[in-house]
C-alpha cells in the first residue's frame, strides 16, 4: 500500500513538473500568440522580394512577439484596395504611399497622425522630407525613399554657345545661359514641366498666410510676378518652346535626343534612354546638379510609410516603419534600387561611393548629384483639403498668362481671388 502511494506521489510530482515546464514554455515569446503587422508596399515585388524577406526575418528575430505579413500591391489598385479593407474593418497596419496617394485619404480622415505618438521620430530624417508629411499641423508619414532630377546637357551645343558647367550654379545662371544658347544657336534651351505652386515654394514664396483668423493666399508678390514674366519672356524669345504646357516630359526627351534642346531636366531613370538611343548622345551628354532657388528646396518624388486610422497594431507598425526606414537599411536599399534615402546618416555611411568609383554611368552620376543635395530635398505635393481646386486655378490662370492673354500681375490677382474664395467658403 505504501509502495502504491509512493508511486502515485511520484507520478503527481512528475506531471506537475511537466505541466510547469509546459506553462513556462507557452508563456515565453516563442510560444506566445504573436501580433501580426500587415505591411503593404507598391510595385516592389518580385524584383526586391529577397531584400524584404531577409529584412522581415531580421526584424522578427529582434522582435519575437511580432510577425510581419508583407503584401505587395500594384500602384493602380492600392488606393481602391486600401479603402475596401478600411471599410471592411480589416485594414493593413503599415502602407507604402506617395503624398499624391495620401491626399484623398487624408481628406477623408482615414490616416493616423504619427505625431500623436509620444516619441520624436523626426531626428533621423532630412527635415524637409519629414515636413512633407505634414497635413493640418500634424505629421502623417515616415519618409522612406526619394527621387529627384538633375540637369542633363548637350556638351556640343553648350560649347557652341560658349557655356561651361561652372556657369550653371544658380537658377539665375541657368536662365542666363539658356538665353545665351538660344541667341547663339537659335535652338530652344529647355522644355520645362511647370508646377506653379512648387515654383513659388522653390523661390521662397509662401502659399498661405493667416489674416484675422482666416487662411488666405500669400503668393501675390513681386517675386511671383517675376517668375511668371520670366516664362512669358522665355516663350516669346524661343528660349523655351511655346507649346511647353501642351506636352509631357516624353516630348522633351524626344526633342533632346533629336538635338532640338540643349538641356533636359530629368530623373535618373530616364538617362538610360539617352545612353540606349545612340553612342553619340551618350558621349555628348553630361550632367550637373539642378540649381535650387532662393527657397533652398530640391523638389522631388517621395515615398512614405503611413498608418491607417483603423489599423489594429499602430505601435508595432511604427516600430517596423522605424526599422525599415533606418539609415543602414535605407543605404542598402538605395544601393540596390537606385533611389535616394530619407535618412541623414545614410550619407555618412559612404552612400553610393563604391558604385560611383567603379561605374561612370549617367544614372549613377545623377544619383550622386542628387545625394549631394538631399539636405534641400522635399516633396512639394500640395497637401490641403482643397488642393485639386487650388491647383486648377493656378494652372488655368498661368496658362492664360503664358499664352499672352493676360499679364503676370492680372494672373496673380485672379489666382489670389480664386484661392481666397475657396479657402473661406
- Length of the chain counted residue by residue: 425
Q: What is the pLDDT of residue 363?
A: 87
pLDDT for the residue numbered 394? 98
CATH class of the domain comprising 35-144+303-364: alpha beta
Q: How far apart are CA 163 and CA 38, in angstroms?
A: 54
Per-residue pLDDT of the chain (425 residues; tens, 9 = 90+): 545 445 454 455 545 544 444 444 444 555 568 999 999 999 999 999 999 999 999 999 999 999 999 999 999 999 999 999 999 999 999 999 999 999 999 999 999 999 999 999 999 999 999 999 999 999 999 999 999 999 999 999 999 999 999 999 999 999 999 999 999 999 999 999 999 999 999 999 999 999 988 999 999 999 999 999 999 999 999 999 999 999 999 999 999 999 999 999 999 989 989 988 888 999 999 999 999 999 999 999 999 999 999 999 999 999 999 999 999 999 999 988 889 999 999 887 666 655 544 445 888 899 999 999 999 999 999 999 999 999 999 999 999 999 999 999 999 999 999 999 999 88
Domain positions in the chain = 1-29, 35-144+303-364, 150-298+380-423
Dihedral pair phi/psi, residue 131, rounded to 5° = -70, -15
- CA–CA dist 183, 72 (Å, integer): 51
- Let me know if the fold of 35-144+303-364 is the same as that of 150-298+380-423: yes
Convert 21-43 to b/e letters by CB count within 10 Å (16 or more is b).
eeeeeeeeeeeeebbebbbbbbe
How much is the pLDDT for 287? 97
Cell of 383: 497637401
pLDDT at 134: 97
Residue-level pLDDT at 360:
54
Residue 118: what pLDDT?
A: 92
User: Tell me, which fold does domain 150-298+380-423 have in CATH?
Assistant: D-Maltodextrin-Binding Protein; domain 2 (3.40.190)
Q: Distance (Å, rounded) from C-alpha 207 to C-alpha 198?
A: 10
Amino acid at each position: 500500500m505504501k509502495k502504491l502511494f509512493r508511486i502515485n506521489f511520484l507520478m503527481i510530482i512528475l506531471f506537475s513538473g511537466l505541466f510547469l515546464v509546459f506553462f513556462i514554455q507557452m508563456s515565453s515569446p516563442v510560444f506566445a500568440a504573436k501580433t501580426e503587422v500587415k505591411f503593404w508596399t507598391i510595385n516592389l515585388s518580385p524584383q526586391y522580394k529577397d531584400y524584404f524577406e531577409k529584412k522581415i526575418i531580421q526584424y522578427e528575430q529582434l522582435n519575437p512577439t511580432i510577425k510581419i505579413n508583407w503584401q505587395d500591391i500594384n500602384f493602380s489598385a492600392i488606393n481602391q484596395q486600401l479603402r475596401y479593407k478600411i471599410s471592411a474593418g480589416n485594414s493593413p497596419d503599415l502602407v507604402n504611399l506617395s503624398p499624391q496617394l495620401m491626399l484623398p485619404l487624408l481628406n477623408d480622415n482615414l490616416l493616423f497622425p504619427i505625431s500623436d505618438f509620444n516619441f520624436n521620430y523626426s531626428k533621423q530624417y532630412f527635415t524637409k522630407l519629414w515636413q512633407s508629411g505634414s497635413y493640418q499641423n500634424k505629421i502623417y508619414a515616415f519618409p522612406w525613399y526619394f527621387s529627384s532630377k538633375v540637369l542633363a546637357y548637350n556638351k556640343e551645343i553648350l560649347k557652341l554657345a560658349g557655356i561651361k558647367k561652372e556657369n550653371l550654379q544658380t537658377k539665375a545662371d541657368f536662365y542666363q545661359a539658356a538665353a545665351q544658347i538660344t541667341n547663339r544657336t537659335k535652338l530652344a534651351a529647355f522644355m520645362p514641366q511647370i508646377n506653379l505652386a512648387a515654383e513659388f515654394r522653390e523661390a521662397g514664396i509662401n502659399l498661405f498666410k493667416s489674416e484675422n483668423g482666416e487662411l488666405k493666399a500669400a503668393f501675390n508678390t513681386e517675386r511671383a510676378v517675376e517668375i511668371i514674366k520670366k516664362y512669358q519672356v522665355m516663350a516669346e524669345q524661343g528660349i523655351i518652346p511655346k507649346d511647353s504646357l501642351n506636352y509631357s516630359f516624353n516630348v522633351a526627351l524626344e526633342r533632346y535626343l533629336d538635338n532640338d534642346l540643349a538641356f533636359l531636366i530629368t530623373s535618373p531613370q530616364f538617362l538610360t534612354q539617352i545612353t540606349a538611343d545612340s553612342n553619340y548622345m551618350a558621349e555628348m551628354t553630361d550632367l550637373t546638379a539642378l540649381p535650387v532657388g532662393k527657397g533652398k528646396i530640391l523638389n522631388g518624388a517621395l515615398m512614405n510609410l503611413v498608418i491607417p486610422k483603423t489599423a489594429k497594431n499602430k505601435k508595432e507598425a511604427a516600430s517596423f516603419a522605424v526599422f525599415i526606414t533606418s539609415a543602414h537599411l535605407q543605404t542598402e536599399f538605395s544601393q540596390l534600387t537606385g533611389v535616394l534615402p530619407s535618412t541623414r546618416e545614410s550619407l555618412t555611411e559612404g552612400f553610393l561611393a563604391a558604385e560611383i568609383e567603379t561605374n561612370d554611368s549617367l544614372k549613377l552620376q545623377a544619383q550622386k548629384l542628387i545625394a549631394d543635395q538631399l539636405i534641400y530635398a522635399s516633396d512639394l505635393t500640395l497637401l490641403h483639403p482643397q488642393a485639386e481646386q487650388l491647383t486648377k486655378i493656378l494652372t488655368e490662370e498661368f496658362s492664360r498668362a503664358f499664352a499672352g492673354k493676360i499679364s503676370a500681375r492680372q494672373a496673380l490677382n485672379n489666382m489670389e481671388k480664386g484661392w481666397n474664395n475657396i479657402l473661406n467658403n
